[in-house]
Amino acid sequence: MCINLIEDNFRESHVEQIAFRMQLNPGQLAEYRKRHDEIWPELIALLKESGISDYSIFFHEESGGLFAVLKRSAAHSMDTLAQQAIMQRWWNHMADIMVTGANDEPVVEPMERVFHLA
């Protein structure tokens, strides 16, 4: 029983960092920044409730690429975000300024970590 409690506490406190790439449409950086400056409080709450923290997005000017890095808890529920109405509304809100799939979800390319300095 004590071992299970320790394992449960570890899973809840363990954090994983992931990165991915998205693509902004040409000439849309100012609008992308504006929309994120005005990000909806309910979307922030959903992301945090899903176990996401320390989330940053960087822009590569030459390619128009967006590079995102975030931390997520071991007990995250990121896999269910696509079913959430708030997330779907946000994707629809952003679809005109970035590369998306048929359901307005941004096209995401996962990235592999090749180096880490702790």
Q: Taking Cα atoms as reference points, which of 73, 82, 83, 75 lies closest to residue 108? A: 82
How big is the CA angle at 102 (ends 97 and 107), to the nearest 5 degrees? Answer: 55
pLDDT in tens, 27-52: 999 999 999 999 999 999 999 999 99
Domain count, the chain: 1
pLDDT in tens, 72-101: 999 999 999 999 999 999 999 999 999 999
Residue 9 maps to a domain: no
Residue 6 maps to a domain: no
Residue 93 maps to a domain: yes
Residue 8 maps to a domain: no
Secondary structure of residue 75 in the 3-state scheme = coil
Residue 2 maps to a domain: no
Tell me: pLDDT of 71 over 60: yes
**Residue 46 near residue 97 (C-beta atoms within 8 A):** no
Residue 102 maps to a domain: yes
Annotation marks residue 14 as catalytic: no
Give me the domain span that covers residue 101. 14-111
CATH number at residue 82: 3.30.70.100
Catalytic entry in 36, 60, 76, 93 = 36
